[in-house]
């Protein structure tokens, strides 16, 4: 389990010794390598859909289905920092008599839908559409065929939505800001939920992420002010900004400690369209 850095030892010399000791004993392995001047593109293709990653997601989804009636499954779920916040938010805006449509961009094989709906009192009015690579959406269609309010596609659908849900996606694409703008042009939703977003008050910085699969993949630490410009441009206001994964991504996650002190953790951001 990744370990956080106690405040009392956050000094340059002691910190380096502490992290080296953790790594020596196998208690903390670096997650990020860099920084780099440009977004890193793997020569081995999209590692998010490698055979190893696909097997991992399939096993995860099947395990979730088997545990979905367990009251404790969220505590062990990958998105434990984001999911309770999202469920709380969603339960406050759902109306059983009014259809509510969610676009889950980069939602893989539908795992968040299963985890979310299992914790809601009423889901009849909730319609959920996942957009991701074909191999993942085909897997979702196969395993989740009994869920009639869950649909998949590998292309952006021609329909309207009430909420865009993007969980831990934007930091792994080459042009995150323009991608978000394109989505908001096509889908002027009432709400946006950005989960586990690696963004803060620092310049956009590019790294390799080492723990996705067999090979590293590109990752970016994004500038929150750039997102604020987009939110303002499209008429959204932040209604909640909450910490996510603060302890997971500590200074032990970086090869070069001197380049890592800026990062305090990921955030969940909830936005609502301003009334005209």
* Alpha carbon distances (Å) from 3 to 26, 81, 97, 244: 11, 16, 45, 15
Residue 110 near residue 150 (C-beta atoms within 8 A) = yes
Structure tokens at 152: 């998949």
Residue 216 has pLDDT above 90, yes or no: no
Q: How far is CA 213 from the centre of its chain?
A: 17
Q: What is the pLDDT of residue 106?
A: 94
User: Which range has highest mean pLDDT (93-97, 101-105, 170-174)?
Assistant: 101-105
Task: Find the Cα–Cα–Cα–Cα dihedral 57, 60, 62, 68, rounded to 10°.
Answer: -140
pLDDT at residue 33 greater than cutoff 70: yes
Tell me the C-alpha distance between 199 and 227, whole Å.
9
pLDDT confidence of residue 2: 42
CATH of range 31-273; options 3.40.50.300, 1.10.10.10, 3.40.50.150, 3.30.420.40 = 3.40.50.150
Tell me which of 4 and 149 has the higher pLDDT: 149
Note the pLDDT of residue 1.
Answer: 36
Positive or negative, the Cα torsion across 106, 151, 192, 71? negative
Q: pLDDT, tens digit, for every residue of 220-251?
A: 999 999 999 999 999 999 999 988 865 444 55
pLDDT above 90: percentage of residues in the chain: 46
Domain positions in the chain: 1-30, 31-273
CB-CB contact of 201 with 276 (8 Å): no
Which element (helix H / strand E) includes 241? strand 236-244
Whether the per-residue pLDDT at 74 is higher than 90: the answer is no
Task: Give alpha helix (H) positions in the chain.
Answer: 12-24, 51-67, 83-93, 111-117, 134-143, 176-186, 224-233
Tokens 């410009």 — which residue?
Answer: 229
Q: Return d(Cα 193, Cα 176) in angstroms, integer.
A: 15
Mean pLDDT of 181-185: 98
Question: Is the four-CA dihedral 39, 156, 138, 89 of positive or negative sign?
Answer: positive
Report whether pLDDT(219) > 70: yes
Confidence label for 276 from pLDDT (cuts 50, 70 and 90): low
pTM of the model: 0.85
Q: Which of 119-133, 180-194, 244-258 is the least confident region?
A: 244-258
Joined tokens for residue 149: 């309010």
Output the pLDDT for position 208: 87
Q: Is the pLDDT of residue 142 over 90?
A: yes
Q: What is the mean pLDDT of residues 257-261?
A: 58
Helix (H, G, I), strand (E, B) or coil at 240: strand
């Amino acid at each position: 389990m990744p370990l956080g850095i106690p405040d009392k030892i956050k000094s340059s010399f002691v910190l380096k010794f502490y992290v080296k000791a953790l790594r020596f004993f196998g208690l903390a392995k670096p997650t990020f390598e860099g920084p780099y001047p440009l977004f890193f593109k793997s020569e081995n293709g999209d590692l998010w859909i490698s055979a190893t990653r696909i097997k991992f997601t399939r096993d995860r989804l099947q395990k979730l289905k088997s545990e979905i009636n367990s009251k404790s499954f969220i505590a062990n779920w990958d998105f434990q920092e984001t999911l309770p916040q999202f469920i709380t938010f969603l339960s406050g805006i759902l109306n059983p008599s009014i259809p509510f449509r969610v676009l889950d961009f980069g939602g893989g094989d539908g795992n968040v839908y299963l985890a979310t709906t299992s914790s809601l009192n009423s889901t009849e009015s909730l319609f959920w559409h996942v957009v991701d690579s074909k191999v993942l959406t085909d897997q979702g269609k196969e395993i989740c065929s009994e869920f009639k309010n869950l649909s998949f596609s590998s292309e952006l659908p021609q329909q309207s939505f009430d909420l865009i849900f993007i969980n831990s996606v934007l930091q792994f694409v080459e042009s995150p800001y323009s991608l978000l703008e394109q989505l908001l042009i096509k889908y002027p939703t009432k709400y946006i939920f950005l989960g586990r977003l690696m963004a803060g008050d620092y310049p956009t910085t590019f790294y390799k992420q080492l723990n996705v699969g067999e090979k590293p993949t590109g990752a970016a630490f994004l500038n929150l002010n750039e997102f604020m410009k987009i939110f303002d441009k499209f008429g959204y206001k932040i209604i909640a900004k909450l910490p996510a994964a603060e302890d997971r991504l500590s200074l032990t996650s970086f090869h070069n400690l001197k380049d890592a002190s800026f990062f305090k953790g990921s955030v969940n951001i909830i936005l609502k369209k301003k009334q005209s």
